[in-house]
Structure 1
């Protein structure tokens, strides 16, 4: 079939090239030139009839004419006109068929390019936008000038329909170049809308490939300026913005371009001696902001030339963003400290990265530094506590199996999950996990469940005992009493080496006695006491269980008070981790505590004891002070790099080294309880001895 079509096309081409050939028209043989003259007279009559008809019936008249005079050159005109009429009748399928016939059977048709353009419109009408766009693109330069504006508009619409955004911009640019007045304005607006949807690479390519005086160059330059601003290439962004308002001072982007230049000027404005502080000084977290101010006050005291600029965040995301912008753009701070609440931390970090402003967050929220290289963190996190505790328990004391009791609050869930993940990552096992509401007051059922004393039908040893009692005691009353006594004497199943309780003092004070009631022995550091319990209970294989806790244990020191702490005996030998301990003998910690207590007093004149918040703020401010005073950094980039390279900084919260994620790597404070109350574990105790404890 394909061969036949090719032969037919070749024959028609040959015939068309022979004006003296003979052709049969209406049953009469006549030369082609004569037939063409006859056909043209007939065509005029058909055209006259067609003008009185709707487009599709008119097209039918012309198609019938073309069929009668097939092979006669003038028939090509009829097919062309019929195709255009079918387009007007919204019959692109029939138009495409008609125009295809024209271009196949009359390849020497003088207006073939115009016919191809009509065929492209038919393709677009049938949803073949890419085919139509390709056709217009190939013949555009050959079209008459009066058709080019319409063709460019059609090509732009086809490109948009095909999702070819760069081509949409090119063709809308052509429409704008051939238009004036409102039409030009509308074309440029559509082009600008398409430019806004382009990625950086396509914008850059268009800007280079289009002529410098192309109407769309203004939108392309503005788009590139915004992209470079987002990429923080401030010199290039400023260059492009200046071009926009210089070349097109009356254009729609002139004011925005000037605003970019002004913003860059403010972004790059730095006062190397200004430290910014963004903290809540009003609202629910005002006390936190005041504590941070106190810690920073101790760090910067006696340092001439340094200035502290403070802004209130209200403890809210919007407040944090506004505070950082003000400190960067108005004060020119070289670094900002703060962002303490979880609510404001992420927004503060994102704003700092956008401003390319070194920022040290004092929030415990995980993952903050993922915002970018300008974001640092100096606060104890759940993952840091979990790593430290598991390293002590598994790495130094050989423990492998654990139980967890945690409250259904963010602090407890986050810390429990971090601990669990760390245990499993090291090849350990969590044998039991109990969770509870934060306001729970009775913990005995939970402890019973954890040690296998709640659902006794699951314990083989108890079922065997019940069988023995049933065989010996036939009296129901005595049998019941004997079973109750056996239940009371039942040993707990402590198939774990330690119990981790990530909670606060209130619940720890209730949980630990419940453990003792169920015969869970936790005095790991009192071997003589454990030996006595083994003897009195008749449990020679009794193994004490280590109690572990997070920094929430230290929230209320009364738990460890030897005078008023009624529950202290239940937490003897427990170990919990913290990011700061005011009673530490570490030199840097001791020096900070002494300076703080000297500077700040309580309502009755007593020394005010600092917490981890004041200590962490102090260390962040001290690191900033050292970079400014000792290393004399002059730019934010230099400050960022200097902070990232901090190693072995002697801080109140420990010897700080900034890790690869710009979070502090340091030895935390391990605290335990002995007969005299709370104290820090010594280096020898931390060095690693058996699970028997200190």
Structure 2
């Protein structure tokens, strides 16, 4: 998976130079490919080597020439010629000088050949390890990592006393890093003891490990590795390590910061860690976390180089966090085309204010209402006005995209009363509290499959956005529960009231049924009737079809049983065991199993064949083939009220009717009457609920406004109450904290049930399920 973290390159000062400048000039010739020993990744030996060597008086003077070559390796990044290096004038030295000249001229093909020839001719000379290092350098530029490792390992194995061994060891780590094999970097580094290294080799080792941890999305381990490198680093190296630590710290959580803070043993690093954490949280508008980190820095590390920067950040946080913490802005379309909805929401919010402020010891809430007039420009202006008045949070209805966009820009939490898909993707300050498509479908499909045991579904939907969205969501959800969609038909959302064609297609009446399917259907029916009359057992069409197929009775033009004797022969040949039949007892209603033998099946087949012959001349209307347990119709009451009677007219009966919350209308019952009985729908608010909180809300609302509340009034009431409770808490001092609390809210019990928000700002609600009985909607007991 692609990492979300910045993949850091190793330090790029003179001690950590790389041959990236050679990449554009390198081409790997056939001659180079012919050599088996090479390396892909070159990390030149750093110029600190001469200093380290001077400290080791026990080394022989013969190594000075090797040391000078090492210095030249480091200078390769600057494309310097070989000047002032004391190379003896023997034939092997002149040979090596030729290779060096080609190398520094960036003629890597020729240099590669010469270095390999040198190794073949002079494998025991002091410059042989240097030749291997240069081979590695060339292969490094060619990104041939596997051969790079082979070359470095050869140097380590054949020249174990070489001064290049520590460098080769670390170069092997670097090749894994360059390949993106960060786990291998960490694993291999664990086998390299710091005791085998010295000086800046230790710095480089822990820096590469830190880079690998960061690229592997483990920033705490990255920071700790950088801190180990910091201990042995020079002043120049430390400055770059501080930058790396600050980069990694930006990805740390507050908990990880605390844990790392305890592990670090350097005050400079601790201060830098705290500052970077504060800066990162400030940029995320998480002012509480930012202020905590910066305050620790100011208190414990007054001499830190970031001290005054931290002071400035805290001043900025104090300025940014200035708002009227008990003020809520409401952006509603009181006038305009959506005025009816805005006025409904206003009533719910007004009731919430009255209810919340009536409690003892509650600070008065200031609600500022802005009429957006159902207009985007007015809505944008209203958001700005509320921002100028420093409201703590906002509630929005209508023109939701404009409201959400502007609120996000201002860093003001807003809860939108809208079912509009993906509105919360505008930003992390945007939430919505409404009944969504997913909510409704999940509730109704889970009940239909798990509680009712339904498996096969049909969908009849209007060919417009609402219907298409519900159809697709319903289909996916049914499949996720192991169900099956056996029929899907659409109709013109703006057409007339005739749905005969769509219903006939669902019921198998629209197209002429082939003769062989008719015969199969007749046989299935004969089996079903026989079992019902003989054993008082009900089986569905699928069981009957399974019995017919098990006994081998298939009607087709090229395979047909000609008479009763052939039926018997077929049974004798293939039907040698009883068939287990599962069904429902018509008297007790319990599941029961019976077994049919071949004699009984023979009688059923024979009688069915005889009846076919006797009735051949009778021209009958085809019967509906209803092979689904339930039909889902996502439309409003006016259309559904016309569809349901037509379903019954075309013999689509005894199926469960499933709808959306739009069915929650007395108008539907008036239109469909007996044809809508037993229908099941989801709903987020039910005024006739038995819950005491709902009953009290309805009673108070009716007293105040002389009418029953609906869904919009109820969800607006709950939304206001959620915000009122949050802004009245003494521990919440920033708008960002309000946003975080909304996401982390354990759940709010209101008149629309249980409400919480996921990390994307989408609502999570427990819906009601309502069933139509007589002229009423009844709440289903889901326990």
SS at match of 2:513: helix
Q: Distance in 1 between matches of 2:96 and 2:743?
A: 75
- Of residues 641, 644, 649, the one that matches 2:745 is 644
1:516 and 1:114, CA in 2 relative to 1: closer, same or farther beyond 3 A? closer
Deviations 1:460-479 (A, max 9, x none): 279989x99999999xxxx8
Q: Distance in 2 between matches of 1:469 and 1:310?
A: 77
Deviations 1:117-166 (A, max 9, x none): 7656544555558988998x999xx99xxxxxxx9xxx9xx989946899
What is the correspondence of 1:130-149 to structure 2 with a 5 Å cutoff? none
How far the C-alpha of 1:444 sits from its partner, in A, is: 0.4
* Aligned 8 A contact 1:222 1:241 in 2: no
1:383 and 1:195, CA in 2 relative to 1: closer, same or farther beyond 3 A? closer
Match in the other structure for 2:710: 611
Deviations 1:250-296 (A, max 9, x none): xxxx99x9997666556766765344657788998776566444422
Match in the other structure for 2:658: 548
* Aligned 8 A contact 2:433 2:763 in 1: yes
1:682 and 1:325, CA in 2 relative to 1: closer, same or farther beyond 3 A? same
Deviations 1:334-381 (A, max 9, x none): x655588886899899x69x97x8775544468999999998764323
What is the correspondence of 1:57-68 to structure 2 with a 5 Å cutoff? none
Q: Is 1:297 aligned to 2:396, yes or no?
A: no
SS at match of 1:434: strand
* Aligned 8 A contact 1:203 1:223 in 2: no
How far the C-alpha of 1:94 sits from its partner, in A, is: 2.5
1:417 and 1:318, CA in 2 relative to 1: closer, same or farther beyond 3 A? farther
Q: Distance in 2 between matches of 1:645 and 1:293?
A: 27
What is the correspondence of 1:496-515 to structure 2 with a 5 Å cutoff? 496-515=628-647
Q: Distance in 1 between matches of 2:375 and 2:240?
A: 42
How far the C-alpha of 1:618 sits from its partner, in A, is: 0.7
Match in the other structure for 2:599: none
Match in the other structure for 1:450: 506
* Aligned 8 A contact 1:73 1:106 in 2: no
What is the correspondence of 1:335-374 to structure 2 with a 5 Å cutoff? 337-338=395-396, 362-364=417-419
* Aligned 8 A contact 1:405 1:501 in 2: yes
Tell me the number of residue pairs that the alignment of Structure 1 and Structure 2 aligns.
517
What is the correspondence of 1:611-690 to structure 2 with a 5 Å cutoff? 611-626=710-725, 634=732, 636=737, 640=741, 644-646=745-747, 649=749, 651-654=750-753, 656=754, 658=756, 663-666=763-766, 668=768, 670=770, 672=772, 674=774, 677=775, 679-681=776-778, 686=781
Higher CA-based Rg: 1
Q: Distance in 1 between matches of 2:373 and 2:294?
A: 34
Structure 1 unaligned blocks of 5 or more: 1-58, 60-71, 144-150, 168-192, 522-543, 601-606, 689-694
* Aligned 8 A contact 2:214 2:248 in 1: no
Match in the other structure for 1:273: 326
Taking only aligned residues, the RMSD between alpha carbons, in angstroms, comes to 6.3
Deviations 1:357-414 (A, max 9, x none): 8775544468999999998764323344335435665666665654331234443344
What is the correspondence of 1:66-145 to structure 2 with a 5 Å cutoff? 74-87=90-103, 90-102=106-118, 121-124=137-140, 127=143
Q: Distance in 1 between matches of 2:388 and 2:691?
A: 40
- Of residues 620, 624, 627, the one that matches 1:492 is 624
How far the C-alpha of 1:672 sits from its partner, in A, is: 2.4
Q: Distance in 2 between matches of 1:289 and 1:278?
A: 9
* Aligned 8 A contact 2:771 2:779 in 1: no
* Aligned 8 A contact 2:489 2:506 in 1: yes
Q: Distance in 2 between matches of 1:130 and 1:284?
A: 69
Q: Distance in 2 between matches of 1:241 and 1:320?
A: 43
Q: Distance in 2 between matches of 1:668 and 1:462?
A: 43
Match in the other structure for 2:244: 220
SS at match of 1:492: coil
How far the C-alpha of 1:616 sits from its partner, in A, is: 0.9
Match in the other structure for 1:460: 518
Match in the other structure for 1:385: 440
Q: Distance in 2 between matches of 1:77 and 1:240?
A: 61
TM-score w.r.t. the length of structure 2 is: 0.50
SS at match of 1:503: coil
How far the C-alpha of 1:496 sits from its partner, in A, is: 4.1
Q: Distance in 2 between matches of 1:580 and 1:85?
A: 84
Deviation larger for 418-427 or 193-202: 193-202
SS at match of 1:625: helix
Q: Distance in 1 between matches of 2:379 and 2:707?
A: 28
* Aligned 8 A contact 2:458 2:487 in 1: yes
* Aligned 8 A contact 1:120 1:132 in 2: yes
1:669 and 1:346, CA in 2 relative to 1: closer, same or farther beyond 3 A? farther
